[in-house]
Amino acid sequence: MQQDNFDREVHGSAEHQYLGMNKNLIYGLQHVLTMYGGIIAPPLIIGAAAGLQASEIGLLVAAALFVGGIATVLQTIGFKHFGAKLPIVQGVSFAGVATILAIVTTGGGLASAFGAVIVASIIGLLLTPFFAKIIRFFPPVVTGCVITMIGISLTPVAIRWIMGGNPKAENWGDPANVGLALMTLAIVIIFSMLRSQILRRLAILIAIVLGTILAYFAGFTDFSNVGSGSIFALPSFFHFGSPVFEFSAILSMVIVTLVVMTETTADIIAIGEIVGSKVDSKRIGDGLRADMLSSAISPIFGSFMQTAFAQNVGLVAITGIKSRFVVATAGGILIVLGLLPIVGRLVASIPMPVLGGAGIVLFGTVAASGIRTLAKVDYNEHKNLIIVATSLAIGMIPIVNHEFYAQFPVSVQMLLHSGISSTCITAILLNIIFNHLPFTKKSVEVASLPLNSGH
């Protein structure tokens, strides 16, 4: 007890305590294992959509690890005006995946996606001082819709993975693929039911490992490409080509940036409450600037928009290990892993059905998080009910019918082809109309639909 008091006196609040190298490494590795499945999923999804070979997808994975490590160190250690200096783990944001897929698949390619991330991140960096004013347009009714749609829009990706990943392959939709995915899903469920908090947190990663082992013995996977390249390699600049800057792609990514800034703000506030440290507008601004700076440089190395990882916020709460130096160590581990392309190639060799089985839970959890946010919304006057119903329905359009915007200009296709962009635009506009304009601030009478349709 006396030692603990001494540490608090010398180092200040809990997040500034240094636990020693051994503990930093152990607890830092736990953070990496907790978020590893989440940080590698976006490059796997985007790489497959871009038609990259396994070795190139491995480079995307390595870049995600490397940049995530840099972003984590920047956020936890920081320097003047950059970094919240809280135990926050950074990584590739799921919020941007659907929009990047839309950019890539509508002809823009990775070059347009990288260009959009760079410009949108710089805009986000410039908006940081004014975000306190902008954030009022992102109440739970808007962010809940967007987060829910992120999970919904990514679910078809998991379905494609379950079927084999490649529609042209002979085993596309083979029951054996579905069986492998179901076994992986069963492993996730089993480990999620255990009493151990750590094993429950690692359920996704454990399921992927065990599912891959099962697939190997069943002849479903081939690791021949794992040893085909270098074991260690320094990251290269613009490996996938120079960025291309297209207005419609940038506009779509700016929307994602605002969502990411909202998510990061929420995570900073949450981790501040868990740690017991004061979080004011300056600290939020410092955290957002670190977020946007790391996002702006990430395409240089071949990665995408960065954000705080919510699952690691939960890990801090569960373990009670609140030191930012532990998380900084986790960032260092991520950087080292990013310098080992063989790790990326190994991950790229994981069978698609295994990823699909885990993806059902992973993407479903994102949607469930959005639903949890929507549960905080007041539906008494029906205005918010209309916002949610309309936004989610419009967001579903490009998911259920890919050809809906086919006859529209390319710029409109890029903006609305993503369910997340469609949902976000609709939710923001309706929220302004119903909750901000002077003539709609009063209660709006909305006729209730009859319970019985009369059939």
Q: What is the pLDDT of residues 232-259, one digit of tens each?
A: 777 788 888 889 999 888 988 998 888 7
Q: Give the 3-state secondary structure percentages of the chain, helix then strand then coil, rounded to 5.
A: 70, 0, 25
How far is CA 169 from its chain centroid?
29
Q: CA-to-CA distance for 159 and 165, rounded, in angstroms? A: 9
Residue 134's pLDDT is 64
Considering the entire predicted model, what is its pTM?
0.70
Is the separation of the CB atoms in 106 and 415 below 8 Å? Answer: no
The structure tokens listed for 350 are 């994981």
Residue 245's pLDDT is 93
Q: CA-to-CA distance for 172 and 216, rounded, in angstroms? A: 18
Residue 440's pLDDT is 63
Placement of tokens 């929507």 in the chain: 374
A 10 A CB-CB count for 134 gives 13
117: three-class secondary structure by DSSP:
helix
Q: What is the tens place of the pLDDT at every residue in 266-315?
A: 778 778 877 878 778 888 899 999 999 999 999 999 999 998 887 677 67
Residue 68's pLDDT is 95
**What is the DSSP track for 328-362?**
HHHHHHHHHHHT-HHHHHHHHTS-HHHHHHHHHHH
Which residue ranges make up each domain of the chain? Answer: 2-438
Residues of the chain short of pLDDT 70, as ranges, are 1-12, 34, 132-135, 201, 311, 314, 318-319, 344, 348, 410-411, 414-415, 439-455
Q: CA-to-CA distance for 433 and 383, rounded, in angstroms? A: 10
Placement of tokens 């079927």 in the chain: 163
Residue 455's pLDDT is 44
Amino acid identity of 344? Answer: G
Q: What is the DSSP code (8-state) at residue 310? A: H
Q: What is the DSSP code (8-state) at residue 92? A: E
Residue 250's pLDDT is 92
Is the separation of the CB atoms in 95 and 121 below 8 Å? Answer: no
Measuring CA to CA, which residue among 105, 196, 206 is closest to residue 153? 105
Measuring CA to CA, which residue among 41, 96, 92, 40 is closest to residue 418? 96
360: which strand partners? none
CA-to-CA separations, 8 to 4, 16, 88, 191, 302, in angstroms, rounded: 6, 9, 20, 37, 41
Q: What is the tens place of the pLDDT at every residue in 387-434?
A: 999 999 999 998 898 889 888 876 677 667 778 778 888 998 999 999
* 18-41 burial code (b ≥16 CB/10 A, e <16): ebeeeebbebbebbbbbbbbbbbb
245: three-class secondary structure by DSSP:
coil
Q: CA-to-CA distance for 226 and 1, rounded, in angstroms? A: 50
The structure tokens listed for 192 are 């999620």
The structure tokens listed for 84 are 């919240």
The structure tokens listed for 423 are 């949902």
